[in-house]
Structure 1
Amino acid sequence: MKSLIVLFSTFFIATISFSQQNDPAAKKVLDGVTAKFKSFKAVQAAFTLRQEDSKGTLLGTKKGSASLKGTRYRVSIAGTGQEIFCDGTNVWTYDKSANEVTITKPDPSASSISMQKLFTSFYDKDFLYKLNGDKTVNKKVVQEIEMTPTDKNKPFHKVYVLVDKNAKTIYSTRILDKSGNVMVYTVNSLNGSANLPDNLFVFDKSKYPGVEVVDLR
């Protein structure tokens, strides 16, 4: 499960620029999502991570939570014993099983889809996208957007995003990786007016007795 939480260790905020080759209808939907997300002071979200193989067989399900405030974030996935903290300058990745924390710098060149990108910022100039239309999922009307990376070196070849049409927020993201596996992130709850202190996003060594620190900055 370590690879799952590593997905969230990349940079979070990026300026969104859209290719003229993309579907204008999809762009309108994504612009709405971006505007809504940027209106939030801080965000607390709960999500479900579902792993499937290429045939749709369920491989595992995990619950997770995320807190976001500007360029700062904190992410954890239940059952993995791992957490990621980022104060905008440093990233701490904690592994409970080893009682070890690794410190790195945010990497804007990373190719994985981060938690903040999951909500708003991963449909940038590196993707072609189109609107596939409306559908109803769990009594919600959602709009499906199909996204294809222009960089063939990315570890995934297709991403399907479902946008809650009324709320203008991401409902789920389905990522098809090149190994044939599928990861589906579904947002279960989202609070856009959360009151989050800045120290929430900093790893406090004193709360993890005996932790080994690996500083890779």
Structure 2
Amino acid sequence: MKSQIQESKKNNTENMVKKFLLIVASIFFSLSIQAQDKKAKELLDQVTAKVKSYNSIVIDFKYSLNNAKENINQDSKGNVTMKGNQYVLNFMGVTKIFDGKKTYTIVPEDEEITISKINEKDDNAITPSKMLTFFNTGYKYNMDILQNVKGRKIQYIKLVPTNSKDQRKEVLLGIDIQTKHIYNLIEVGKKGTKTTLTVNSFKTNQPLSKNQFTFAESKYPNYYINKLD
């Protein structure tokens, strides 16, 4: 039972990373993608210019999973630090470090660490290079609704997967019109499941340790280390 719970945590962490890559992809790849909606592209270009001016980004977020039919309502909090092609993600008690070459998944509850190399040819692999090709194919997008959220004007861009086998009906990317920062990301599944990632805090150019994205095995003397490669 314990292993099943932990495996669920690992899977949720993987899903979180993919959502962040989706956000980053929407920012960085918008400059080279062919416009399907001129206004949507103009807004993404503004977000791109803003984000590219930052040396680092630190985000605190809330993650919600809802399905009315299944009576599922789950909320979790986490944070991620990103700089260039590296990141550290903390979510559901699991820490995931990507140093640009390898990923380190640290699970304190089980005193276990999984180390794996990135296979660029694996379609499901989470790699920084895929941040720049995420939207190359597979989505149609256009401007959606403009909402007032606690005094903030949030403009949504709707992305619809072109693959009929994709379990997602649509993805909504919310952008703060004033700051040009990502406010939230909403995925709506074909079976009624909705996941929402909301940015609670968006800090930039924060002082980071030179070892921020370095895995130090000496910090985990009693941990079992599982090297997959």
Same fold (TM over 0.5): yes
Q: State the Cα deviation string for residues 95-129 of structure 1 (Å, max 9, x = none).
A: 222211111223555458899999x9854443211
RMSD between superposed Cα atoms in Å: 3.0
Task: Give 1:19's aligned amino acid.
Answer: Q
- Which stretch shifts more, 26-35 or 98-107? 98-107
Counterpart position of 1:67: 81
The alignment's TM-score, normalised by the length of structure 2, stands at 0.80
Counterpart position of 2:208: 196
Please say if residues 85 and 128 of structure 2, whose CA atoms lie closer than 8 Å, have aligned partners that are also in contact.
no
Can you give the 5+ residue segments of structure 1 that lack an aligned partner in the other structure? none
Q: State the Cα deviation string for residues 53-89 of structure 1 (Å, max 9, x = none).
A: 1559661111111100000000001xx2201001111
Aligned pair partner of 1:23 in 37, 43, 48: 37
Task: Give 1:96's aligned amino acid.
Answer: P
Give the secondary-structure state (helix, strand or coil) at the position aligned to 2:55.
coil
Shift in CA distance, 56/182, structure 1 to aligned 2, threshold 3 Å: farther
- Counterpart Cα distance in 2 of 1:93 and 1:176: 27
Please say if residues 111 and 154 of structure 1, whose CA atoms lie closer than 8 Å, have aligned partners that are also in contact.
no
Aligned pair partner of 1:6 in 4, 14, 19: 14
Please say if residues 9 and 106 of structure 1, whose CA atoms lie closer than 8 Å, have aligned partners that are also in contact.
no
- Counterpart Cα distance in 2 of 1:103 and 1:46: 25
Shift in CA distance, 180/144, structure 1 to aligned 2, threshold 3 Å: same
Q: State the Cα deviation string for residues 122-166 of structure 1 (Å, max 9, x = none).
A: 544432111013211121101011111223444533111110001
Give the secondary-structure state (helix, strand or coil) at the position aligned to 1:200.
coil
Greater helix proportion:
2
- 1:104-143 matches, within 5 Å, as 104-108=116-120, 109-111=122-124, 123-143=135-155
- Which stretch shifts more, 204-213 or 66-75? 204-213
Can you give the 5+ residue segments of structure 2 that lack an aligned partner in the other structure? 1-7
Task: Give 2:33's aligned amino acid.
Answer: F
Do residues 52 (structure 1) and 29 (structure 2) align? no
Give the secondary-structure state (helix, strand or coil) at the position aligned to 2:212.
helix
- Counterpart Cα distance in 2 of 1:63 and 1:192: 19
Give the secondary-structure state (helix, strand or coil) at the position aligned to 1:7.
helix
Please say if residues 46 and 188 of structure 1, whose CA atoms lie closer than 8 Å, have aligned partners that are also in contact.
yes
Count of matched residue positions in the alignment of Structure 1 and Structure 2: 213
Task: Give 2:14's aligned amino acid.
Answer: V
Instruction: Tell me by how many angstroms 1:44 deviates.
Output: 0.9
Counterpart position of 2:103: 91
- Counterpart Cα distance in 1 of 2:127 and 2:189: 15
Counterpart position of 1:215: 227
Shift in CA distance, 97/5, structure 1 to aligned 2, threshold 3 Å: same
Please say if residues 118 and 126 of structure 2, whose CA atoms lie closer than 8 Å, have aligned partners that are also in contact.
no
Aligned pair partner of 1:174 in 176, 181, 186: 186
Please say if residues 42 and 70 of structure 1, whose CA atoms lie closer than 8 Å, have aligned partners that are also in contact.
yes
- Counterpart Cα distance in 1 of 2:127 and 2:146: 25
Higher relative contact order (CA 8 A, sep 6+): 1
Shift in CA distance, 61/177, structure 1 to aligned 2, threshold 3 Å: same
Alignment identity in percent? Answer: 28
